[in-house]
Chain A
Amino acid sequence: NAGVTQTPKFQVLKTGQSMTLQCAQDMNHEYMSWYRQDPGMGLRLIHYSVGAGITDQGEVPNGYNVSRSTTEDFPLRLLSAAPSQTSVYFCASNPTPQGTGELFFGEGSRLTVL
């Protein structure tokens, strides 16, 4: 199993551009989530999904959209990038719909918005 795979690993955008961060897991996990990591602020939850077709907002959802058309994939969309969205983004999954227990993280996507 590859686990949780994120692409791209690095991306530079200009303000106002749009892009999609991809996340795929091959563990048949119900729960998937996106976090952003900023210095001194830990990991903050952006959006999460408890199963295909179901998504919900986390702590910092503004400026981001998600969808969950399949169990395996959970893309994160930035519609109009802003410098405040410069961060490292992590996708994480968990076997249960509630997301209880261990979270399995991808290796991250570093985004810079100029």
Chain B
Amino acid sequence: GENVEQHPSTLSVQEGDSAVIKCTYSDSASNYFPWYKQELGKGPQLIIDIRSNVGEKKDQRIAVTLNKTAKHFSLHITETQPEDSAVYFCAARFKAAGNKLTFGGGTRVLVKP
């Protein structure tokens, strides 16, 4: 079935360093890849997304890259700050699943001051 694998499950970085989270997906027909951030006690919130006709997208300190051939996409956070500490989820929209989103298992990011 449709699957999204996310790594690592936990990530600890020093404030000011970069953080990278990677996801792979199973359906080559997937066309939409969002990233959600979940702060403690809150619901997930969309932070950036990318569509299959684009290779990279940036928004200030965050960027997402997509490699359709390898079926993987990554979230990059530069100059990390304590407020970046959260759980991050990648997701992919699978046509075979009626265009519903399938989420990765999540990455807990801790930014140490």
Contact = CB atoms under 8 A, between A and B. Distances in A.
Contacts of B44: 43, 90, 103, 105
Interface of B, helix, strand, loop or mixed by DSSP:
strand
Contacts of A90: 43-44
B79 to A, nearest CB: 25
Interface of A, helix, strand, loop or mixed by DSSP:
loop
B14 interface: no
Interface stretch (A12-20, A66-74, A75-83, A94-102): A94-102
A45 B9 CA distance: 20
A103 to B, nearest CB: 7
A42 B6 contact: yes
A4 B102 CA distance: 21
Interface in A39-68: 40-45, 48, 58-59
A96 to B, nearest CB: 11
Contacts of A45: 100-101
Nearest to B106: A42
Contact of B9 (A40, A43, A105, A106): A40
Contact of A40 (B34, B93, B106): B106
Interface residues of A, number: 22
Looking at B6, B49, B99, B103, the one whose CB has the most chain A CB atoms below 10 A away is B103
Interface of B: 4, 6, 9, 32, 34, 36, 41-46, 49, 89, 91, 93, 99-106
20 contacts: A35-B103, A40-B105, A40-B106, A42-B105, A43-B89, A43-B91, A45-B100, A59-B100, A90-B43, A90-B44, A98-B99, A99-B99, A99-B101, A100-B32, A100-B99, A102-B49, A103-B101, A105-B43, A105-B45, A106-B43
Interface of A: 4, 35, 40-45, 48, 58-59, 90, 92, 98-100, 102-103, 105-108
